[in-house]
């Protein structure tokens, strides 16, 4: 005697349900496997970058030191001087790249160690501008900071690197005669009355293409519009800025200026730990 029709329907529904659950399970397993593989690939890539960067640090320091000594020993009208200066500039660019890679891999470990102290905003901004001015002495950078002493909880070395990266980006996209500025203000950002220090780096370059704005903080993303004489980059400077600021509990954004040509990068840091 056969099963009642209602029982057959129930059995079929249960069979379909089992098949669906099994398919969903296998799909979940595949997704987890892909995620795990991606995590392992990123970890391997980070470890490889960190290892290579550490190995490059010492020889680069030697090249920079030796080329700087040779520059000091060579007259500027000597035909060898531009060659030595070029070696020094390229080695220093590589050194900055290595430091950026090391900073990024440390932050991507998920447990960034911040040496946070209350630092004077004016001193950190001044140190970043002093660094940039060594390599771009022909550019004039204007500064606007509060008259009263503004102390901000931060890892000064990392925030200095953020400012250096933003200023370096501004210099590369701004003509010699055009304006570059850095300002620091304070702002009440949220409903909890939390106060933030607001840093802004502004230039009078060509601005940022609308199609590029959503991507500029992504790793390895480089602008398609750049001066012919700009140093090549691999798209790490702005992602490092993003990672450092977020590790401090802050936020960063980029936009085109509304008062004329140019771009502005604005990041905010909480004034309380």
**Confidence bin at 183 (pLDDT 50/70/90):** very high
Q: What is the pLDDT of residues 201-239, one digit of tens each?
A: 999 888 888 888 888 888 777 776 655 555 556 677 888
C-alpha 263/C-alpha 170 separation (Å) is 8
Same domain for 104 and 130: no
Domain count, the chain: 2
Mean pLDDT of the chain: 81
**Confidence bin at 2 (pLDDT 50/70/90):** low
Same domain for 235 and 163: yes
Instruction: Choose among 157, 37, 172: nearest CA to 106.
Output: 157
Same domain for 131 and 264: yes
Res 266: pLDDT: 95
| Least confident window among 127-136, 168-177, 183-192, 240-249 | 183-192
C-alpha 117/C-alpha 156 separation (Å) is 8
Same domain for 101 and 162: no
C-alpha 167/C-alpha 95 separation (Å) is 17
* Model confidence at 23: pLDDT above 80: no
Q: Which domain holds residue 149?
A: 117-270
46 or 22, which is more confident: 22
Report yes or no on 221 lying in a domain.
yes
Same domain for 133 and 103: no
Read off the CATH number of the domain in which 177 is found: 3.30.565.10
**CB 114 within 8 Å of CB 155:** yes
Same domain for 90 and 161: no
């Amino acid at each position: 005697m056969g099963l009642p029709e209602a029982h057959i329907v129930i059995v079929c529904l249960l069979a379909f349900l089992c098949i669906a659950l099994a398919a969903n399970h296998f799909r979940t397993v595949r997704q987890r496997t892909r995620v795990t593989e991606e995590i392992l690939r990123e970890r391997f890539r980070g470890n490889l970058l960190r290892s290579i960067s550490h190995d490059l640090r010492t020889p680069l320091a030697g090249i920079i030191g030796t080329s700087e000594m040779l520059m000091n020993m060579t007259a500027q009208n000597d035909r060898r001087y531009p060659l030595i200066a070029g070696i020094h500039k390229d080695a220093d660019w590589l050194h900055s790249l290595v430091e950026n890679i090391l900073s990024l891999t440390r932050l991507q470990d998920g447990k960034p160690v911040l040496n946070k102290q209350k630092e004077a905003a004016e001193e950190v901004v001044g140190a970043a501008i002093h660094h940039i001015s060594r390599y771009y002495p022909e550019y004039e950078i204007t500064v606007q900071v509060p008259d009263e002493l503004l102390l901000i909880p931060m890892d000064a070395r990392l925030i200095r690197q953020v400012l250096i990266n933003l200023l370096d980006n501004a210099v590369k996209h701004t003509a010699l005669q055009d304006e570059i500025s850095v300002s620091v203000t304070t702002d009440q950002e949220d409903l909890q009355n939390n106060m933030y220090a607001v840093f802004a780096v502004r230039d009078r370059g060509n601005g940022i293409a609308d199609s590029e704005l959503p991507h500029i903080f992504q790793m390895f993303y480089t602008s398609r519009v750049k001066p012919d004489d700009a140093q090549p980059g691999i798209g790490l400077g702005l992602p490092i800025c993003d990672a450092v600021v977020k590790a401090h509990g802050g936020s960063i954004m980029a936009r085109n200026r509304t008062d004329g040509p140019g771009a502005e990068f604005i990041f905010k840091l909480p004034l309380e730990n």
